[in-house]
Amino acid sequence: MNGVIVIDKPAGKTSFDVVDEVRRTLGVRKAGHTGTLDPLATGVLPVCLNEATKLVPFLMGGWKVYRATLLLGVRTDTLDRDGQVERTCVPSVTPEEIAGALKKCVGRRPQQAPRYSALKFKGKALYRWARQGVAIDPPSRIVEIDELTIESIEGPYATFTVRCSKGTYIRSLCAEVGENLGCGACLYALRRLKTGPFDETLAVRLEDEAGAAGPERLRQGLIPLIDALPELTEIEVDASLAKRIRAGHQPKRGDWGEEDIPFLAPEDMIKFTLNRRALVAIGKVVPPPPASGETSGDAPFTKILRVFNP
């Protein structure tokens, strides 16, 4: 069984818990997710099975969409409501001030990862260092908040949706808003609505109303490899070329007629498919030969990055 199943992750479980449950329920050998959700969070968690685990690096970089609720006046060590409360106060801010602080988060900006997070430092997750009492100054990196829409502001709670880049911590965003308002804040609730090409309309619940995991329901939600990267340009190959690519052949321009190759720029990502039913490989377009060189069929076309077995 090869493909991606989008799980509607329940609150209270780690992403690893979900992946392990899917793997055991379906009896697959390999499984992995495309981006961690904290135990508090719910929503879209794509789980890649067997050959689809090779897709993980290509699926992690897409935009994410979240619905979040922040709680003003509460600071915790984990930056969310599950953490140890470090300080509380009664926030004295207006809805307009809260909205203004949230809107200021839009754009490219440095963000510091939470001390309790899965980000690695010297090969070990930050939360492991924190639990051992080792003070690590979390690294800062550039993230982008593309859109932020405020849904409601009621008392100390503010709910908003945000479209952001890979690596953005909504917990850190909430804490930063609280600091800018002078009262502190933490993440109260979080749901991932979309990651890359996968949204919650594709999501399957792990358990039915009776609380039992359903293998048949999971199988019905399986997204084939060929459909997992819809944004990539598709180039069809025949069985002979598919076999050669899977054996290590790097595609040349002479493998197709010129009319069969769509317009592509160097560094563009493409997927090679067999009979439009099976994913053969993912590659990256290489620059064409210099003007002074030959443009024969031996000129390189792509560098193969991943090969997928039938």
Burial of 169 (0-12, 13-18, 19+ CB in 10 A): buried
Cα distance from N-terminal residue to C-terminal residue, the chain: 10
CA distances from 269 to 64, 193, 233, 265, 293 (A): 20, 25, 7, 9, 24
At residue 173, what is the residue type? L
Name 60's Cβ contacts closer than 8 Å, sequence gap at least 6.
Answer: 34, 35, 166, 196
Residue 248 carries which DSSP code?
T
Q: Give the pLDDT score at 13.
A: 93
- Quick: pLDDT tens for 278-303: 999 999 998 876 654 555 567 788 89
CA distances from 225 to 216, 238, 263, 282 (A): 19, 18, 24, 11
pLDDT mean over 104-126: 83
Residue in 199, 224, 216 with CA at minimum distance from that of residue 4: 224
- Quick: pLDDT tens for 158-175: 999 999 999 899 999 999
pTM reported for the whole predicted model: 0.88
Residue 206: is its pLDDT beyond 90? Answer: no
- The answer to whether 150 and 67 have CB atoms below 8 angstroms apart is no
Q: What is the mean pLDDT of the chain?
A: 89
Q: Give the pLDDT score at 292.
A: 46
Name 57's Cβ contacts closer than 8 Å, sequence gap at least 6.
Answer: none
Residue 18 carries which DSSP code?
H
Compute the distance between CA of residue 296 and CA of residue 160 in angstroms, rounded to an integer: 55
Tokens of 205: 């619940």
At residue 174, what is the residue type? C
pLDDT winner (highest mean) among 35-39, 120-124, 198-202: 198-202
Q: Give the pLDDT score at 7.
A: 96
Compute the distance between CA of residue 280 and CA of residue 150 in angstroms, rounded to an integer: 43
pLDDT mean over 106-130: 81
Side-chain half-sphere exposure of 303, counting CA atoms within 13 A: 8
Side-chain half-sphere exposure of 101, counting CA atoms within 13 A: 23
Q: Give the pLDDT score at 126.
A: 75
Q: Give the pLDDT score at 115.
A: 79
Lowest mean pLDDT among 56-60, 86-90, 112-116: 112-116
Query: Out of 17, 20, 38, 255, which one is annotated catalytic?
Result: 38
Side-chain half-sphere exposure of 113, counting CA atoms within 13 A: 19
Confidence of residue 211 (pLDDT cuts 50, 70, 90): low
Compute the distance between CA of residue 159 and CA of residue 9 in angstroms, rounded to an integer: 20
pLDDT mean over 253-257: 76
Is 38 one of the catalytic residues? yes
Residue 116 carries which DSSP code?
S
- Quick: pLDDT tens for 89-105: 999 999 999 999 999 99
Q: Give the pLDDT score at 15.
A: 93
- 137 versus 247: which is more confidently predicted? 247
In the three-class reduction of DSSP (H, G, I as helix; E, B as strand; rest coil), residue 95 is classed as helix
Lowest mean pLDDT among 31-45, 240-254, 290-304: 290-304
Q: Give the pLDDT score at 212.
A: 58
Compute the distance between CA of residue 253 and CA of residue 285 in angstroms, rounded to an integer: 11
Residue 80 carries which DSSP code?
B
What is the percent of the chain where pLDDT is above 70? 93
- Residue whose structure tokens are 């449950």: 21
Domains by residue range for the chain, with CATH:
3-62+197-227 (3.30.2350.10), 64-195 (3.30.2350.10), 233-307 (2.30.130.10)
Tokens of 72: 């003003």
Tokens of 34: 């495309």
Q: Give the pLDDT score at 287.
A: 83
